[in-house]
Amino acid sequence: MISGFPVRIAGTGKYIPEKVMTNFDFEKILDTSDEWIVTRTGIRKRHFAGEGVKCSDLAYKAGLAALEDAGIDASELDLVILATNTPDTVCPSTAAKIQGMLGAVNAGAYDVLAGCTGSLTAMLTAVTGIASGVWKNVLVIGSEDFEDVLDWSDRSTCILFGDGAGAAVLTRSEDGGPRFAAGEVKADGSKYRLITIDKEEGRDNPVLRMHGAEVFKFVNVHLPPFIKSFCEKAGVEPAEIGFWVLHQANTRIIDSLFKRLGVSTERTLMNLEQYGNTSAASLMVTLDEAMKSGSIKSGEKVLFMAFGAGMTLGALLYEA
Ligand code: UT7
């Protein structure tokens, strides 16, 4: 359980780049079909950043939107955390670049790399730091620019991913107001080769490789018991969760999770169909869409869930 000062979501934002690639576009360059992709993943199209646009550019726009939504000036931020697997540079952090772009002159900045669990991990870090009194206002951004790291001839992987960014301003709350109640992250490093972005001979850029079927199996075996045990420790039944903010990787994974928890899929928002898997951005984009569409009702319990490279798993409980 999270103790200390209560922490709430003050505002959210997203930025999805304009360039679109549909399943039909993939049919023209790969031995694949719209029917295969939709049936196996739930994805119909995804967006890409385009030539010369970087992770920081998408993140900056999402961050700006979240600040505007929160009614907070960049100078009031104590910290900017960026969750990404596709930073502009390995060093310095892309978060530092964004801090400069935003003019968040009083804020520290660093990147979090935890696969698709990155933005959940960044949120948990922000929440515990605000709860302890170290920070008051933290901007958490998830942003991905996969276009340059995809192998466009690998049909089992390149059809899954898309670019985008989402952000949230987390701030100290009032007693009795909305608050994050619990959080947990886990890793199984023995499976770290299942999803990688690494250098390969003969390639200019690092390339994303995924053992899709093994990832699918890992997640289906480990995710339901992880969520069940998280709920138990947080003292909440899955049936009591009013809304689920989920990492968007594959509709079959979500359907199977909800079936095993006995939860209706009506209590979540899926956008995988439009954006594909935007990895560290996915949870933040989904959060923004859930907040803006009024899907999250005041007073209800909200569960955030993510999983990804590492392998990593994460959950957060929010009382809206
Ligand atoms: O967010 C990070 C976490 N990542 C994930 O959650 C991804 C988890 N994994 C998955 O979502 C699924 O494993 C995939 C969607 C990646 C693949 O689906 P699958 O049902 O596990 O397929 P598979 O890899 O077992 O392949 C089945 C067949 C193979 O053909 P053969 O060997 O049976 O003839 C593949 O070559 O499907 C073939 N295949 C394709 N066919 C048409 C693989 N990709 C494609 C494709 N189009 N794009």
Q: What mean pLDDT value characterizes the chain? A: 97
CA–CA distances in Å: residue 83 to residues 54, 109, 208, 284: 14, 11, 17, 10
Q: Which residue owns the Cα nearest ligand 1 atom 30? A: 156
Residue 38: is its pLDDT beyond 90?
yes
User: What is the model's pTM?
Assistant: 0.97
Q: 162: CA distance to ligand 1 center in Å?
A: 17
Q: Which residue owns the Cα nearest ligand 1 atom 40? A: 156
Within 10 A of 88 (CB to CB), how many other CB atoms are there?
19
Question: 216: which 2 tokens?
Answer: 């699918």
Residue 54: is its pLDDT beyond 90?
yes
| pLDDT bucket at 298, cuts 50 / 70 / 90 | very high
Q: Which of 116, 137, 231, 250 is catalytic?
A: 116
Write the CB contacts of 187 (distance below 8 Å, at least 6 apart in sequence). Answer: 310, 311, 312, 313
| Domain ranges (residues) in the chain | 1-320
Residue 276: its pLDDT value, please?
A: 98
Q: Which of 55, 231, 247, 250 is catalytic?
A: 247
Residue 136: is its pLDDT beyond 90?
yes
Residue 259: is its pLDDT beyond 90?
yes
Q: Domain 1-320, what fold?
A: Peroxisomal Thiolase; Chain A, domain 1 (3.40.47)
* 200-219 pLDDT per residue, tens: 999 988 999 999 999 999 99
Residue 221: is its pLDDT beyond 90?
yes
Q: Give me the mean pLDDT over the 122-146 stretch.
A: 98
Residue 175: is its pLDDT beyond 90?
no
Residue 59: is its pLDDT beyond 90?
yes
* 6-31 pLDDT per residue, tens: 999 999 999 999 999 999 999 999 99
Q: Which residues line ligand 1 (CB under 6 A)?
A: 32, 36-37, 40-41, 116, 155-156, 159-160, 195, 212-213, 215-216, 219, 249-250, 253, 277, 279, 308
